[in-house]
Amino acid sequence: MNSHLISAQEIKNLNNSPLFEKLSEVKINTLLMNSRLINLKHRETLFNCGDRTDSFAIVTAGALKLIKSTARGDDIIMYFATVGDPIGALLMNKPTTEYPISVVSMGPSNVLCIPRSTFEKNWATDVDVLQRLNSQLYSRMTNLQDDKLMNKVPLNQKIAKLLINLLLKSNNNNSDETVISVPITRQEIADSLGVTVESVIRTMSDWSQNQIISTFDKKIEILKLDFLLNLIKEV
């Protein structure tokens, strides 16, 4: 992992982010006081469960998985964070001193790490910025609630919904893209759905044989998007 203080050019590049869109450069500088841009390699850890909550992060490139370990020692992927997603922001308004999850990069990724002191001074006192942040967090909670409704549906429908969500999120909601740009394994899909990896492999192998999806370099191309959309419509 390497990091550096965010540069003026990098600040200008944030204008496309929902959190910073249409904010002045002066305002963004204030919100990012003492922040660092961190470059992560594939499978490199940003936060470990139990680390001190001294900062929160915003994904600026790539994707990261949020992992929670169970009492049995299994890992459950709680969420896939992609560009624009805040990580750990809810903890900045709480006296919590440790991260309850681990956060690991999926492919080369960049994140802005913003100190708790900056959040308390410049974020928590800004109504407009808090509304932007809460809007993103609300959307995430809504998606998680939708995912819970999928718990009792057949596995193929669960996988279809996950792949479509990843396709939209990893490509900034560009519906013309067909390749999920986040490198994801069958095991990670299983960990996020709470199912066995063998069952995921069986379903996705069948889809590959029927040219519904194609896999290359740990990336998935959706060849028949309508097929997956129709599966979800059946729910």
In the chain, the percentage of residues whose pLDDT exceeds 70 is 92
Average of per-residue pLDDT across 106-118: 94
Domains 2-139 and 149-233 share a fold: no
Residue 59: alpha-carbon gap to chain centroid: 8
Domain boundaries, given as residue ranges, for the chain: 2-139, 149-233
Q: Which CATH number fits domain 2-139: 1.10.760.10, 2.60.120.10, 2.70.70.10, 3.40.50.300?
A: 2.60.120.10
H, E, C per residue of 6-45: CCHHHHHHHHHCCCCCCCCHHHHHHHCCCCEEEEECCCCE
The DSSP call for residue 107 is S
Distance from first CA to last CA of the chain, Å, rounded? 42
142-178 pLDDT, tens digit per residue, is 766 666 666 778 999 999 999 998 998 877 655 568 9
Distance, in Å, from the CA atom of 214 to the CA atom of 120, rounded to the nearest integer, reads: 46
Checking if the pLDDT of 127 tops 90, the result is yes
Residue the block writes with tokens 């390497």: 2
DSSP H helical ranges for 87-194: 116-118, 127-149, 155-170, 186-193
pLDDT score, position 145: 66
Distance, in Å, from the CA atom of 108 to the CA atom of 60, rounded to the nearest integer, reads: 11
CATH class, domain 149-233, is: mainly alpha
State both tokens at 21. Answer: 């869109």
